[in-house]
Structures are given as structure tokens and as C-alpha cells.
């Protein structure tokens, strides 16, 4: 497998398309909540996407289960992926959506720090640090209208969102570090979907979460988008990119996701558009360029 130190134009274009998809996913989740509770929705999404993945791999002749000693690694990936969603949705019960976005997207910093420590060739330079800080500043600017000092309740939620960001970053670094084990992107995704599908639906059942008996068509369409386009297609694409390119470089693009989410909320749900979105997008773009520019010799 070919590894690239920096992102090329094709990889950048694919990543932007993924970020658009993930931004639309935020609006899709809001719509589907009208008929499918959050934890149950996340679990069912994993089960549906996992089923599609199994069919895709059977058609390609790629075995997903092998006796190659990676079972423990796969279980760890799945547990971390499941815990990330528990922290994410748990945090939203205590803090605002705007605050959750800010703290969740601390994940690229955790990726950069972890890759610097555990992934050869991904040294955290001054330029990369400045780029991450600039992109994060742009994200904060985009949501500045709704930010203020937290209450005690919001502080609990903020900390849970930081926990979700840490798990997201740690999972990314783990996948990148173990990319030399011969675990294909399909198998990496299968581990996450299989474990999280079973675990999250079980948690939802214990919490008493049940889907509506007759959900509206728009709820079903939104859920199908989350399962097919996001959890199956875009996540498989993400792991394919992660096996080939710099983890910190890829993670920096995730700062675009909430900006696309704001646009999707405005276009699809009639939500208010922040006055600082243009300036925020410029800061994020400059930050991404700094992170992904050619490394110094």
C-alpha cells in the first residue's frame, strides 16, 4: 500500500466531499430524531451499514473475519467507537449544540498529538500547530454568537464532549498506527460497525428507547442517508484515505464539517445563518493549508 506524506488534489477533493456529507448528516440526525431516538438511531445505523458492508465484501470476495490475531484490536476499535457516541449524545443532554461542536472538534488536536508520539513521520511542527490553531479559531468564530461562560450543568456536558473528541482522535491514531497490520479499510470499518451496532442498540433497549411505530417518510429517508451514505460510503472512504495519507493532515479537514452543517441547517431546516461564517471559513481554509503544506526537509 502506497503511503503519502501530504495530501494530493484528489485526496483533498474526496475529503471535502466527505465533510459535506458529514455536515448534511447533522441536519439528517435532527430530522430523524422525530421518529428514532438518538442512541437507538446510532446503533441501527451501524447495523444497516454493517449489513451493506458485508454484502459489498462478499461481492468482491474479500473475507472480513480471519484468524490473524486482530480480534482484540477490532474489539477495541468497536468499543471506542461506541463510547464516542455515548459521550457525544450524553454531552448533548447537558450542554448546547453549539458548545458541543466546539469541544467535539478538538479531536484534530488529539490526532496531531497522538500521531506525533506514535506514528513515524508525522512530527507536529510549528506550522502544523499554527494551522490547527487557526482552523479551530475559525470554528469558534462561526459559533461565537451562542458562546458564553458555562453553567455547572453545561460544564459537565462540555467535558463529555471533550471525552468524545479524545476517543475520536485516539481511534484515528490507533487505525493509522496499525495500518501496517494488513487490516483493510473494509475490515476496520466492519469491526467498528459490528461492535457498535450490537452495543448501542443494547444500550438503547436498556434506556427504553423505541422507534416510532409508523415514522414519517422524511424520517426514513434521513435515516437511510445516515446509514448508507454516511456510515457505509463515507466512513469506508475515510479509512481508505487514512491508510494512505497523514492522519493529522486528514483530521484537519474535519474543521469544515460543522461549517457545512451550518449551511445544511440553513438550507434544509431554516436555521439562522451566522454572520461570521465567511470569515470563519477563510480561517479554517488557511489553517488546513498550513497543516497540509509540504513538510520541511
Q: How large is the average pLDDT for residues 261-268?
A: 81
Give residue 296's pLDDT band: very low, low, confident or very high (50, 70, 90): very low
| Domains of the chain by residue range | 9-292
Quote the pLDDT of residue 149: 66
Q: Report the mean per-residue pLDDT for the chain.
A: 86
**Where do runs of H (alpha helix) occur along 178-276?**
185-206, 217-224, 235-242, 247-252, 256-269
Separation CA 168–CA 147 (nearest Å): 23
244 by Cβ neighbours in 10 Å (0-12 / 13-18 / 19+) ranks as: middle
Crossing angle of helices 71-92 and 97-104, rounded to 10°: 150
Q: Scan for cell 479499510, then name that residue.
A: 185
Indicate if the pLDDT at residue 71 is higher than 60: yes
Q: Scan for cell 452543517, then name that residue.
A: 261
Closest CA to 115 of 236, 13, 18, 252: 252
Q: Scan for cell 474543521, then name that residue.
A: 255
Each residue of 183-205: pLDDT tens digit? 888 999 999 999 999 999 999 99
Q: Scan for cell 484490536, then name that residue.
A: 73
Each residue of 31-65: pLDDT tens digit? 888 898 888 998 999 999 999 999 999 999 988 87
Better pLDDT: 159 or 272? 159
Indicate if the pLDDT at residue 154 is higher than 90: no
Are 227 and 45 within 8 A, CB to CB? yes
Closest CA to 22 of 216, 255, 220, 283: 255
Are 68 and 182 within 8 A, CB to CB? yes
Indicate if the pLDDT at residue 107 is higher than 60: yes
Separation CA 152–CA 192 (nearest Å): 33
Indicate if the pLDDT at residue 279 is higher than 70: yes
Indicate the SS3 state at residue 165.
Answer: helix
Quote the pLDDT of residue 297: 42
Amino acid at each position: 500500500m502506497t503511503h503519502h506524506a501530504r495530501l494530493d488534489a484528489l485526496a483533498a477533493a474526496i475529503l471535502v466531499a466527505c465533510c459535506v456529507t458529514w455536515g448534511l448528516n447533522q441536519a439528517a440526525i435532527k430530522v430523524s430524531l422525530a421518529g428514532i431516538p438518538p442512541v437507538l438511531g446510532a446503533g441501527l445505523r451501524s447495523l444497516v451499514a454493517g449489513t451493506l458492508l458485508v454484502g459489498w465484501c462478499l461481492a468482491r470476495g474479500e473475507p472480513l473475519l480471519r484468524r490473524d490475531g486482530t480480534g482484540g484490536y477490532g474489539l477495541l476499535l468497536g468499543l471506542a467507537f461506541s463510547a464516542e457516541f455515548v459521550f457525544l449524545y450524553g454531552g448533548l443532554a447537558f450542554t448546547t449544540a453549539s458548545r458541543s461542536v466546539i469541544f467535539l472538534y478538538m479531536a484534530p488536536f488529539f490526532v496531531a498529538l497522538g500521531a506525533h508520539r506514535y506514528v513515524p513521520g508525522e512530527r507536529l511542527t510549528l506550522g502544523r500547530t499554527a494551522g490547527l490553531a487557526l482552523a479551530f479559531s475559525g470554528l469558534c468564530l462561526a459559533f461565537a454568537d451562542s458562546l458564553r461562560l458555562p453553567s455547572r450543568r453545561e460544564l459537565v456536558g462540555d467535558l463529555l464532549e471533550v471525552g468524545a473528541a479524545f476517543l475520536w482522535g485516539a481511534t484515528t491514531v490507533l487505525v493509522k498506527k496499525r495500518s501496517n497490520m494488513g487490516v483493510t479499510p473494509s475490515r476496520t470499518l466492519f469491526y467498528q460497525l459490528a461492535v457498535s451496532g450490537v452495543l448501542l442498540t443494547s444500550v438503547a433497549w436498556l434506556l427504553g428507547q423505541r422507534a416510532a411505530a409508523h415514522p414519517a417518510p422524511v424520517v426514513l429517508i434521513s435515516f437511510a442517508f445516515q446509514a448508507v451514505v454516511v456510515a457505509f460510503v463515507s466512513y469506508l472512504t475515510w479509512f481508505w484515505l487514512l491508510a494512505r495519507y497523514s492522519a493529522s493532515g486528514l483530521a484537519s479537514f474535519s474543521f469544515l464539517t460543522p461549517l457545512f452543517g451550518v449551511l445544511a441547517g440553513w438550507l434544509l431546516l431554516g436555521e439562522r445563518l451566522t454572520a461570521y461564517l465567511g470569515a470563519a471559513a477563510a480561517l479554517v481554509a488557511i489553517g488546513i493549508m498550513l497543516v497540509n503544506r509540504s513538510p520541511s526537509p
